[in-house]
Structure 1
Amino acid sequence: MSVPLYVPVLPTRPHAVSAYRALTPDIQRRIAPLWTLPPRPGFLPAPLAQRIRKESGDVTTAHRHGVGWLDAPFADDIEADVLSDALSPGWWDHRNLWPVTGPGRPAAQQSLALAVARRREDGLGLRVRLPGAWNDSTTSEVIDLLERLPPRYPVDLLLDLGTVLPDRPDAAKEGLRALDALVPLTSWRTVTAMAGGFPDPPSDFREGVPYEAPRSDWETWEEIQHSERSYLSRLIYGDYGIHPATYVAQVPPSRNGGPPWGVLRYTTARSYHLSKVPHGIKYDDTNREAAGSLTRLADFRGPGAGAGERWLRDRTQGMTSTGNHTVWNRVGNVQHLTFVARSLAG
């Protein structure tokens, strides 16, 4: 396995898959996405299995130059049973995605991931979620899962801090408590610490008034890096792309649509920038101004930086259409993923 520089948590939705496809090969090789299937409570088994196969297949097809993980952390007991049928151990053969499980998962989901790992013999992700304070009882649950694998099996530790905004100042401290307990348990193939810092739009979000928020997830990462732990040289950075960490846990809408406005997002070294953007050709001028508010940022890197910046430049100049939610999400993630991967590469 080529160790990635960056692990973004991405939903198995078309806009995220399209964004990953749009990355240049060198960026794809630097990242290993943690693809996350959404919850779908109330679905009948047959249509649920169909959706799982469709989204998982789309992700597999997108992986031309890199590898990643595929997870279903929100599956309840019923969904886990369907998952075991839809993505049976044979489905994973010859695919460059590793299965994932973790403490507190339904037995069927854990059993499937472990069965796939034993069949393929090339890797398993253990995703340990830490939305708040560290609980030492989690250590024993991780040990139980590790003991169900062959000795010296390649396992990846995926420590998921969830939402990390300015109102969670102890996130780095709790993350270090977790890593101090988990890192010594086995010879992990990789160790990743992930957090989501992109904010929701504010309640008073208005057209023509850009919103700026600190990159709290990156600040948490830097605090961890300054802790002088012996394992820091092995630690990989992860985040949730351009959406709040809660986005991957949302049930996808049953049909296309959404509000008549969306959000353009842009990542700089220290900030996240959001601009409210209307949808529709009749709002072309306002739409162009929303893109222009980002291209006029002092830290805007210009169209040569990547496809995300080029789209914003082109939209500002009226060289491309107004876009829609899918386009805005794709463009934002292409810009964010490219910028983060290059920042980590130095």
Structure 2
Amino acid sequence: MSGPLYVPVLPARAHATAVFERLSRDVRAVIRPLWNLPPFPGGTPKTLATAVGKYVDPASAKSRHGGWIDAPFGEQDQTEALAEALSVYCEFGLLRPVTGPERAEAQQTAAVVTARRGSRGLGIRVRVTGEWDGRSGDDVRSLLARAGPELPLDLLVDMGAVPSVRSDAGKEALRALDALMPLADWRSAALLGGGVPTVTADMLEEGPWEEPRGDWWMWREVRTSGRAYAPELCYGDYGVQPASALAQAPDPGRKGAPAWGVLRYTTESSYLLFKTLTRGPDRIAVNRAAARRITQLPGFRGAGAGPGEQWLCECANGPLSTGEGTGGPKEWLQMGNLQHMTYVVRSLTDG
């Protein structure tokens, strides 16, 4: 069994795809993203073809070393259109289709057919929403029978719905993996932990918010469990956004934005969240101060650690007379992902 070093679970949106252009080559080489299309409520076959291309074209171009593409929010009557729209990226590109045991039979069949045509394999995404349900193993067996023995399979155990603060998350992950790993000769297997919580203005009102990095400790517990599969297991997470962010539907008519935003920084034990402003007379001073607080952390890795840290240093030390370099919501997300993804890869490489 072999696989990538790191599987980030990302929305197929501009702020996420742009990150790959700025990652260093060695970091990018060991990452295989799991890209996720947003919901397209009421989308017709004609509009879906255009929408899928808009989101997947950039994701496919940035995934030079491969990855997966999933449409987890597709409506039942959209199955055929989504499968057709995605097939070109899976058959002639480097992305692999994804299905799961809880999905409709039509979606499972479409994913299997696409995987066979593309000959790159199929991702089996198994969601653990709370406690591991043994009946899920039977559903996976049925799905594997539909896929057949000749198709290369990648197991994606998704713990994103399990709160990272749960002390028994590692045990639930082990229960799921113990049940799923014997079911197939998996080409690769990844454990996907959750990301940061949904951020509210109240959380940041009293100062920076510190969220325990439970996904990393869950991973460490599994890796040190002594299981035979543990050394080959790939690490994955939702990065600096909550898992719920994937379900946000496109809203081209939306106007305006909150008056506040977030700068994010990842340490070994925590996600640190700092309030920023998107408008107002104090915007520049508040944003530079937020960046400065990060650069003054004992665990700050320095400007040479990567482009995310370099940007934070430039933001922190810029003049108050100009807002240049203080960013906005999309750039804050990009920089958060840049520092996070680079740090994760360095942590995994260092053991």
TM-score where L is the length of structure 1: 0.93
**Residue 72 of structure 1 corresponds to which residue in structure 2?**
71
**Residue 111 of structure 2 corresponds to which residue in structure 1?**
113
- The CA distance in 2 between the partners of 1:256 and 1:44, in whole Å, is 25
| Identity, % of aligned positions | 46
Alignment of 1:1-346 (within 5 A): 3-64=3-64, 66-87=65-86, 89-202=87-200, 204-206=202-204, 209-254=207-252, 255=254, 257-280=256-279, 282=281, 283-318=283-318, 320-346=324-350
CA contact (8 A) 1:195 1:245 kept: no
Superposed CA deviations along residues 28-72 of structure 1, whole A, max 9, x for unmatched, are 1111110011112233443233111211111111123x2110011
Relative to structure 1, the CA distance from residue 301 to residue 259 in structure 2 (aligned partners, 3 Å threshold; closer, same or farther) is: same
Letter aligned with residue 191 of structure 1: A
> How far is the alpha carbon of 1:168 from its aligned partner?
2.4
Unpaired stretches in structure 1, ≥5 consecutive residues: none
CA contact (8 A) 1:242 1:333 kept: yes
Relative to structure 1, the CA distance from residue 301 to residue 256 in structure 2 (aligned partners, 3 Å threshold; closer, same or farther) is: farther
Relative to structure 1, the CA distance from residue 312 to residue 197 in structure 2 (aligned partners, 3 Å threshold; closer, same or farther) is: same
- The CA distance in 1 between the partners of 2:162 and 2:138, in whole Å, is 25
Q: Which runs of 4+ in 1 moved over 3 A?
A: 163-167, 205-208
Unpaired stretches in structure 2, ≥5 consecutive residues: none
- The CA distance in 2 between the partners of 1:105 and 1:281, in whole Å, is 46
> How far is the alpha carbon of 1:2 from its aligned partner?
6.9
Superposed CA deviations along residues 239-261 of structure 1, whole A, max 9, x for unmatched, are 00101111112223334642122
Superposed CA deviations along residues 126-181 of structure 1, whole A, max 9, x for unmatched, are 00000111111111221122122342421000000113435422221111111111
CA contact (8 A) 1:307 1:335 kept: yes
Give the aligned CA root-mean-square deviation in angstroms.
2.0
Letter aligned with residue 75 of structure 1: G
Relative to structure 1, the CA distance from residue 211 to residue 134 in structure 2 (aligned partners, 3 Å threshold; closer, same or farther) is: same
The answer to which of 267-276 and 20-29 deviates more is 20-29
Superposed CA deviations along residues 299-320 of structure 1, whole A, max 9, x for unmatched, are 0111000000011110111174
> How far is the alpha carbon of 1:217 from its aligned partner?
0.7
CA contact (8 A) 2:109 2:146 kept: no
> How far is the alpha carbon of 1:208 from its aligned partner?
7.7
CA contact (8 A) 2:3 2:189 kept: no
CA contact (8 A) 2:83 2:114 kept: no
The answer to which of 225-234 and 297-306 deviates more is 225-234
- The CA distance in 2 between the partners of 1:339 and 1:281, in whole Å, is 33
CA contact (8 A) 2:44 2:78 kept: no
> How far is the alpha carbon of 1:231 from its aligned partner?
1.1
> How far is the alpha carbon of 1:284 from its aligned partner?
0.9
Relative to structure 1, the CA distance from residue 182 to residue 230 in structure 2 (aligned partners, 3 Å threshold; closer, same or farther) is: same
CA contact (8 A) 1:5 1:344 kept: yes
The answer to which of 71-80 and 314-323 deviates more is 314-323
CA contact (8 A) 2:2 2:232 kept: no
- Aligned to 1:125, the other structure's residue is in SS state strand
- The CA distance in 1 between the partners of 2:255 and 2:302, in whole Å, is 32
CA contact (8 A) 2:259 2:277 kept: yes
- The CA distance in 1 between the partners of 2:255 and 2:105, in whole Å, is 34
- The CA distance in 2 between the partners of 1:305 and 1:207, in whole Å, is 30
- The CA distance in 2 between the partners of 1:90 and 1:269, in whole Å, is 39
- Aligned to 2:211, the other structure's residue is in SS state strand
> How far is the alpha carbon of 1:91 from its aligned partner?
4.4
Letter aligned with residue 172 of structure 2: E
- The CA distance in 2 between the partners of 1:134 and 1:205, in whole Å, is 31
Letter aligned with residue 337 of structure 1: M
- The CA distance in 1 between the partners of 2:164 and 2:9, in whole Å, is 20
- The CA distance in 1 between the partners of 2:116 and 2:93, in whole Å, is 15
Letter aligned with residue 121 of structure 1: S
- The CA distance in 2 between the partners of 1:121 and 1:151, in whole Å, is 13
CA contact (8 A) 2:2 2:188 kept: no
